[in-house]
């Protein structure tokens, strides 16, 4: 395996000699290995290392293998990582207890290196086949339903240039959704949301949330023409809070209302990424204090009014870019994105950002990536 294509193994084992021997053979077999001496430390490594498979001893101090496995099963992000118990025991009760915790297999510590490598290869191949099958089913379902949560084009709005960049993770429909509503010649509403979860579930709920947001906007319009971003957000929040089907799903949301008569944008966010405001060669982060949707009946949402000068740009985005890691394993984060925005000069903003991030990450995006750029024309 090349360095770029190495599979990652998290080895959790408290016996230093056994860990050293297994790690040596895994390194020799072409795997990238991280080691922890108990389940608590192993869990801490997961966020940054993101292994393809986990091998864990059972008998360990502080957090043993069974407790570690239960921690993973309670984490939507980590529960699907293939898991193997490493044990010196062969008792039937231990084996059955492990399978009750949805593990893939056991490896006996006294197994030869060839047996260990063969089992790992078999498990990884099996996992990849199932993943490919699942992704194919998601794509087919999306096509069959004919549902789009991100429109192909953005409606035109006089006096403003509005563009979007959307890259689904591995071309699989995910949790990002956008919407654009032209209320009249002077008012334009922009929506960007991110449903957090696995690809199929995230995509399914993204469809539902997109519908909620559209309904909330139209409901607000029926009540009064003097609506605000925070009023729309509160209506969506109330709908989510009272709907048991989706009240436990985590969603971030950004709502922006362009008012051309005042040259302002009214912004309200719910647990979202800050807006990036480029004006006169400087970038300012605009943060919202609103909570994630559905956490309470009143989310404490407020509208922030942003004044725009000619050629000012506002960037609203989900976390796909800032949480993507570069080739050194470091996240892009807000500061690096600010540097990229300042470097773009007269280049097309979204194309420049996409190209620069692709170069930093070797074209490996780790999540759905969506950015909307709003530019006030001169």
Per-state percent for the chain, helix, strand, coil, to nearest 5? 35, 25, 40
Whether 135 contacts 172, CB under 8 Å: yes
| Two tokens, residue 178 | 């956008």
Burial class (CB in 10 A: 0-12, 13-18, 19+), 44: exposed
What superfamily does domain 8-143 belong to in CATH?
Answer: Response regulator (3.40.50.2300)
Whether 370 contacts 166, CB under 8 Å: yes
Angle (CA) 238-157-264 rounded to 5° is 65
The H or E element that residue 50 is part of is none
d(CA 113, CA 102): 25
The arithmetic mean of pLDDT across residues 61-67, rounded, is 91
d(CA 285, CA 275): 6
Distances (CA, A) of 294 to 157, 207, 245: 32, 17, 11
Alpha helix ranges (H) inside 197-332: 199-223, 229-242
Residues of the chain with CATH 3.60.40.10: 147-376
Decide which of 366 and 275 is more confident.
Answer: 275
Residue of 170, 100, 83 lying closest to 134 (CA atoms):
170
The arithmetic mean of pLDDT across residues 348-360, rounded, is 91
d(CA 60, CA 50): 22
**Mean pLDDT rounded to a whole number for the chain:** 82
Q: What is the pLDDT of residue 34?
A: 94
Residue with tokens 């009760």: 93
| pLDDT confidence tier of residue 242, bands split at 50, 70 and 90 | confident
Q: What is the pLDDT of residue 372?
A: 96
d(CA 168, CA 228): 30
DSSP reduced 3-state for 45: helix
| Two tokens, residue 177 | 């959704």
The arithmetic mean of pLDDT across residues 283-291, rounded, is 91
d(CA 58, CA 275): 46
Q: What is the pLDDT of residue 146?
A: 46
d(CA 138, CA 66): 33
Q: What is the pLDDT of residue 145?
A: 45
Residues of the chain with CATH 3.40.50.2300: 8-143
| pLDDT confidence tier of residue 202, bands split at 50, 70 and 90 | low
Does 130 have pLDDT greater than 60? Answer: no
- Backbone dihedral angles phi then psi of residue 182, each to the nearest 5 degrees: -90, 110
Burial class (CB in 10 A: 0-12, 13-18, 19+), 58: buried
The arithmetic mean of pLDDT across residues 318-323, rounded, is 87
Residue 64 is given by DSSP the state -
pTM of the model: 0.64
Q: What is the pLDDT of residue 331?
A: 84
Does 200 have pLDDT greater than 60? Answer: no
| pLDDT confidence tier of residue 221, bands split at 50, 70 and 90 | low
Does 128 have pLDDT greater than 60? Answer: no
Decide which of 133 and 263 is more confident.
Answer: 263
- Backbone dihedral angles phi then psi of residue 46, each to the nearest 5 degrees: -60, -40
Q: What is the pLDDT of residue 2?
A: 41
**CATH class of residue range 147-376:** alpha beta
| Two tokens, residue 143 | 């096509």
């Amino acid at each position: 395996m090349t360095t770029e294509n190495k599979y990652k193994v998290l080895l959790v084992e408290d016996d230093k000699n056994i860990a050293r021997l297994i790690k040596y053979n895994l390194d020799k077999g072409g795997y990238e290995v991280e080691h922890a001496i108990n389940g608590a430390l192993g869990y801490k490594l997961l966020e940054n290392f993101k292994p393809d498979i986990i091998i864990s001893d059972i008998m360990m101090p502080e957090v043993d293998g069974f407790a570690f496995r239960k921690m993973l099963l309670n984490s939507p992000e980590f529960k699907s990582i293939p898991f193997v118990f490493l044990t010196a025991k062969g008792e039937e009760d231990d084996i059955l207890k492990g399978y009750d915790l949805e593990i893939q297999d056991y490896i006996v510590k006294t197994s030869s290196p060839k047996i260990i490598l063969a089992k790992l290869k078999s498990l990884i191949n099996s996992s990849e086949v199932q993943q490919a099958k699942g992704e194919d089913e998601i794509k087919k379902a999306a096509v069959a339903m004919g549902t789009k949560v991100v429109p192909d084009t953005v409606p035109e709005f006089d006096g403003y240039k509005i563009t979007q960049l959307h890259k689904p993770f591995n071309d699989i429909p995910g949790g990002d959704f956008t919407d654009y509503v032209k209320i009249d010649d002077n008012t334009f509403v922009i929506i960007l949301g991110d449903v957090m979860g696995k690809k199929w579930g995230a995509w399914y709920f993204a469809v539902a949330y997109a519908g909620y947001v559209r309904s909330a906007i139209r409901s607000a319009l029926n009540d009064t023409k003097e609506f605000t971003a925070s009023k729309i957000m509160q209506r969506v929040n109330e709908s989510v809070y009272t709907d048991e089907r989706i009240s436990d799903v985590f969603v971030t949301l950004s709502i922006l209302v362009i008012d051309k008569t005042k040259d302002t944008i009214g912004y309200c966010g719910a647990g979202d990424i800050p807006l990036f405001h480029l004006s006169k060669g400087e970038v300012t982060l605009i943060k919202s204090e609103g909570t994630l949707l559905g956490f309470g009946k009143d989310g404490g949402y407020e509208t922030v009014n942003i004044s725009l000068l000619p050629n000012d740009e506002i960037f609203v985005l989900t976390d796909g870019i800032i949480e993507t890691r570069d080739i050194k394993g470091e996240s892009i984060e807000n500061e690096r994105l600010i540097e990229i925005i300042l470097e773009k000069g007269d280049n097309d903003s979204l194309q420049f950002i996409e190209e620069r991030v692709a170069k930093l990450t070797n074209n490996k995006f780790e999540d759905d990536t969506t950015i909307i750029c709003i530019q006030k024309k001169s």
